[in-house]
Amino acid sequence: LCGDWKKQVPFLFSLLFLQVIKCKAAVLWEANKPFSIEVVEVAPPKEHEVRIQIVATGICRSDDHVVSGALVMPFPIILGHEAAGVVESVGQGVTSVKPGDKVIPLFVPQCGECKSCLSTKGNLCSKTDLGSRAGLMPDGTTRFTCKGKAVYHFLGTSTFTEYTVVPESAVAKINPAAPLEKVCLIGCGFSTGYGAALQTAKVEPGSTCAIFGLGGVGLSVVMGCKVAGASRIIAVDINKDKFAKAKQLGATDCINPRDFQKPIQEVLTEMTGQGVDYSFEVIGRTDTMTAALACCHSNYGVSVIVGVPPAAQNITFDPMLLFTGRSWKGSVFGGWKSKDAVPKLVADYMKKTFVLDPLITHTLPWTKINEGFDLLRTGK
């Protein structure tokens, strides 16, 4: 023992009890196969790491992109990145959370040291696994094993398991009174859509908006546009079953592209005169990305890509769409600096600034995860 040994004793004492945890997890062994419920070993947290007991996790389209092969990741892997839980144990040097704290894992971490974290303009921390597709902890190893094989992490979170390990920079302590089965949505879907409107686009009062895609993230964009004071919010989807909920959350118009003989961007331009002030693509298709850009006002319209782009696909578009003044932007996690913003968003939820219940369509035991993905794929 060195330095102030009295401060080190509690941590050293806790090390005696940090052991490998055996628990159940939904492991994806290969693409285009169902999840397999397996017993996995979850190693103790290392320095500046946190082990979390997952209480509730949402299913996101990004997870399904890995299943389908549209988002290439190494296998076997434990997916999931939208969750809430309770800290089970912490590694040496962890100061922001302690065992027993209610937390939300962050697939976009906030290290507080890289250029993006230090800038007021960005939020995509350089320590994110998004884009690198390494599937490993920062030290290049994994904390999961199953049947003697190493199992990869997903986006630094891996929440389709009873226990997971994340870097300290990828976890946010939240209000202990918050219902975890609801605020788990703040870990991805809600924050991503809500922030795309408020943080990335900075929608203004009285403006017109178009949202392509009315899944959980698209509906959250609708909510963000309403809070921002948009006067007209046009929801676009080929699934008419989504329209009632979209209107409940603030959409003023709902249209189905299949009801028209002309491109949807022309329909939206005619509906609004010269195009919308803000558009949001929340699907992840290149054709709808270009349509969302084209439906914006030709001079000052802003279009935001929120849906995860498909792998190995490029966009071809008329550069005149941008030359005349339109802006094309991307938004990751709604532009929020995660560790700072998530506790505040949870606090706002507790103050009833926004609702989350309408975004929850089904609640299932997580062992029925394959049924959950079937519901996602069928638009339910």
Q: What is the pLDDT of residues 58-70, one digit of tens each?
A: 999 889 989 998 8
For residue 211, what are the domain limits? 202-330
Residue 72: what pLDDT? 86
Residue 133: what pLDDT? 67
Shared domain for 63 and 137, answered yes or no, is yes
Across 303-329, average pLDDT? 87
Final residue in a domain of this structure, among 291, 307, 330: 330
Q: Does residue 2 lie within any of the structural domains? A: no
Percent of the residues in the chain that have a pLDDT greater than 70, as a whole number:
94
Residue 317: what pLDDT? 85
Shared domain for 160 and 224, answered yes or no, is no
Shared domain for 274 and 357, answered yes or no, is no
Peptide bond into 76 cis (omega under 30): yes
Q: Does residue 276 lie within any of the structural domains? A: yes
Q: Does residue 303 lie within any of the structural domains? A: yes
Return the biggest CA–CA distance within the chain: 76
Residue 308: what pLDDT? 80
For the chain, percent helix, then strand, then coil, each to nearest 5? 35, 20, 45
Is 81 an annotated catalytic residue?
A: yes
- Between 255 and 310, residue with greater pLDDT: 255
Q: Does residue 27 lie within any of the structural domains? A: yes
Q: Which residues contact 378 (CB under 8 A, 6 or more apart)?
A: none
Residue 54: what pLDDT? 98
Predicted confidence band of residue 1 (pLDDT cuts 50, 70, 90): very low
Residue 284: what pLDDT? 87
Across 136-151, average pLDDT? 94
Shared domain for 212 and 318, answered yes or no, is yes
Residue 141: what pLDDT? 94
Residue 132: what pLDDT? 66
Residue of 65, 184, 207, 220 marked active site: 65
Q: Does residue 46 lie within any of the structural domains? A: yes
Strands (E), 58-168: 83-90, 102-105, 144-146, 149-151, 163-167
Angle at alpha carbon of residue 216, lines to 210 and 222, rounded to 5°: 30
Shared domain for 30 and 112, answered yes or no, is yes
Q: Does residue 10 lie within any of the structural domains? A: no
Measured between alpha carbons, how far is 230 from 209 in angstroms, rounded to an integer?
7
Total number of domains constituting the chain: 2
Is 338 an annotated catalytic residue?
A: no
Across 233-240, average pLDDT? 96
Shared domain for 255 and 299, answered yes or no, is yes
Q: What are phi and psi of 317, to 5 degrees?
A: -150, 165
- Between 71 and 332, residue with greater pLDDT: 332
Residue of 117, 188, 209, 225 marked active site: 188
Give me the DSSP letters along 45-84: P-TTEEEEEEEEE---HHHHHHHHTSS---SSB-----EE
**SS3 (DSSP) at 342:** helix
Residue 128: what pLDDT? 85
Q: Does residue 104 lie within any of the structural domains? A: yes
Least confident of 80-89, 181-190, 232-241, 308-317: 308-317
pLDDT(14) > 60 = no
What is the CB neighbour count within 10 angstroms for residue 279? 32
Residue 309: what pLDDT? 79
Residue of 2, 14, 23, 60 marked active site: 60
Q: Does residue 4 lie within any of the structural domains? A: no
Measured between alpha carbons, how far is 244 from 255 in angstroms, rounded to an integer?
12
Residue 130: what pLDDT? 75
Shared domain for 241 and 356, answered yes or no, is no
Residue 283: what pLDDT? 92
Shared domain for 163 and 239, answered yes or no, is no
- Between 318 and 11, residue with greater pLDDT: 318
pLDDT(2) > 50 = no
pLDDT(185) > 90 = yes
Shared domain for 140 and 217, answered yes or no, is no
User: 276 pairs with which residues across the strands?
Assistant: 296
Residue 131: what pLDDT? 67
Final residue in a domain of this structure, among 330, 348, 364: 330
Q: What is the CATH number of the domain that holds 286?
A: 3.40.50.720
pLDDT(16) > 80 = no
Residue 52: what pLDDT? 98
Across 111-134, average pLDDT? 87
Least confident of 36-45, 221-230, 307-316: 307-316
Shared domain for 160 and 258, answered yes or no, is no
Predicted confidence band of residue 199 (pLDDT cuts 50, 70, 90): very high
pLDDT(15) > 70 = no
Instruction: Note whether 87 and 51 are within 8 A (CB).
Output: yes
Shared domain for 171 and 244, answered yes or no, is no
| Average pLDDT value for the chain | 92
Shared domain for 178 and 207, answered yes or no, is no
Q: Where are the alpha helices (DSSP H) in the chain?
A: 5-15, 61-68, 115-118, 180-183, 189-195, 216-228, 243-248, 264-272, 286-294, 320-323, 338-350, 369-377
Is 65 an annotated catalytic residue?
A: yes
Least confident of 15-19, 154-158, 209-213: 15-19
Q: What is the CATH number of the domain that holds 352?
A: 3.90.180.10
Predicted confidence band of residue 379 (pLDDT cuts 50, 70, 90): confident
Residue of 62, 158, 207, 331 marked active site: 62
